[in-house]
Amino acid sequence: MDYTDKWQAERDRKAFLALDDGTVFHGIAFGARKDALGEVVFNTGMSGYQEILTDPSYAGQFVALTTAEVGNYGINPDDVESRGLFLSGLVIGDLATPSNWRSKKSLDDYLKGNGIPGIYGVDTRSLTLHIRDHGNRKAYLHVTTPSALNKSDAPCNDAATHGEAIARATEWIGLDGQDYAAKVTCEKAYEFNPRPTSDVSSIPHIVCYDFGVKTNILRSLAAWAKVTVVPAQTAAEDVLAMNPDGVFLSNGPADPAAVTYAIENIKRLLGKVPMMGICLGHQLLSLACGAKTGRLKFGHHGCNHPVKNLMTGKVEITSQNHNFAVVKETLPDCLEVTHVNLNDGTIEGIRHKFLPAYSVQYHPESCPGPHDSAYLFREFKEMIGNRRQPATSIEQ
């Protein structure tokens, strides 16, 4: 394809992202050719776009990647972090052609195959600065049809104009007060044991609540335990009937205060079994203990966020993905802060003073991201090992 043909092809795929505050960003459509609604967030990671795409925590969101070039190492089946893609769409600067020996398909083909729209050629620096200054925005992504060869504004539906797209973004209900964990959780319980052993009684049994769990979280637990994954709505009594040695509260999307059934189940589990939570699970554990959560201006999204461990004084670089956080002023006396974010001082970790339960706001399984926080899984193992007893004496 010569430059004239390339220019014509891109002209026929013109697209725009309209924010609810009236700001519009233009680019070129790729991936699935359909319009979409979502909330725009920016991710500051320099790599790991496949893990980001397959993170259920991005359900309902357009992910704008701040790194300049995306797609250069393609897509492979080994780095998939969930059973599907739940984000609303992808926003990038330059779309690269894959040139990596692990690549099995291009980013464009991967999005098409999963029904996710994308837009490239966007001034992502300007978009990121806009979100930083004005907060996460509701948005409408609009693309044109391939048949619009000589019609610069030909729509694929009735949201053809900027004004109509802005109105649709404004009218969208958004993510506040919405239970998205129910949208991404598994349909039924299952065992995750990549290294089967004939004597499962010799290793701890972990029940993992799937609020949007990623595969490498399960791998991190399965390295030393038998893991049973259960749907987000599973009753506490059903979990205790499985005689677990520990309960893990996974990551997940949207507003933690809306996942009321999980908060009530965690209340009934506290003190009866050791518990660890991350991301949404951290927020749900805090809510179950009496704290409150609130929305951050533009959230934490990336694999380069500095967090200080107040117990050791060490700083770890972490992978994060959340728009809500535990409000410091609402923390009950039974909880103490163990980690803080060095960028904005928000709570990044808590532990119960009297019961075997702790959590962190970030993703210690490092997909994508550094391995600084892997020790948190070891601490969970040690907590369980110190308290492991016959199933008949788990309840206190």
Higher-pLDDT residue of 97 and 149 is: 97
Structure tokens at 312: 């050791």
Q: What confidence tier does 371 reach under pLDDT thresholds 50, 70, 90?
A: confident
Q: In the block, which residue shows the tokens 């999963």? A: 114
Instruction: Report the chain's mean pLDDT, rounded to a whole number.
Output: 90
Q: What are the residues whose beta carbons fall under 8 Å from the beta carbon of 381, sequence distance 6 or more?
A: 204, 224, 225
pTM above 0.85, yes or no: yes
pLDDT tens for 213-244 read 999 999 999 999 999 999 999 999 999 999 99
Q: What confidence tier does 160 reach under pLDDT thresholds 50, 70, 90?
A: low
Report, as residue numbers or ranges, the catalytic residues.
Answer: 279, 363, 365
**pLDDT for 76 beyond 50:** yes
Burial state string for 25-43 with b = 16 or more CB within 10 A and e = fewer than 16: bebbbbbbbebbbbbbbbb
Report pLDDT for 7.
52
Percent of the chain residues topping a pLDDT of 90: 82
8 A C-beta contact, residue 281 and residue 360:
no
Report pLDDT for 10.
64
Structure tokens at 362: 């970030």
Report pLDDT for 154.
44
Alpha carbons 341 and 335: distance in angstroms, whole number: 17
Higher-pLDDT residue of 111 and 5 is: 111
Report pLDDT for 73.
94
Find the mean pLDDT for residues 343-370: 93
8 A C-beta contact, residue 217 and residue 223:
no
Q: Are strands 357-360 and 14-19 parallel, antiparallel or unpaired?
A: unpaired
Report pLDDT for 148.
39
Alpha carbons 221 and 208: distance in angstroms, whole number: 9
Q: What confidence tier does 8 reach under pLDDT thresholds 50, 70, 90?
A: low
- Closest Cα to residue 355, out of 315, 395, 304, 314? 395
Alpha carbons 30 and 143: distance in angstroms, whole number: 9
Q: Which domains does the chain have, with CATH numbers?
A: 3-171 (3.50.30.20), 181-393 (3.40.50.880)
Find the mean pLDDT for residues 101-112: 96
Q: What confidence tier does 396 reach under pLDDT thresholds 50, 70, 90?
A: very low
Percent of the chain residues topping a pLDDT of 70: 89
Report pLDDT for 275.
98
pLDDT tens for 239-272 read 999 999 999 999 999 999 999 999 999 999 999 9
Q: What are the residues whose beta carbons fall under 8 Å from the beta carbon of 77, sequence distance 6 or more?
A: 104
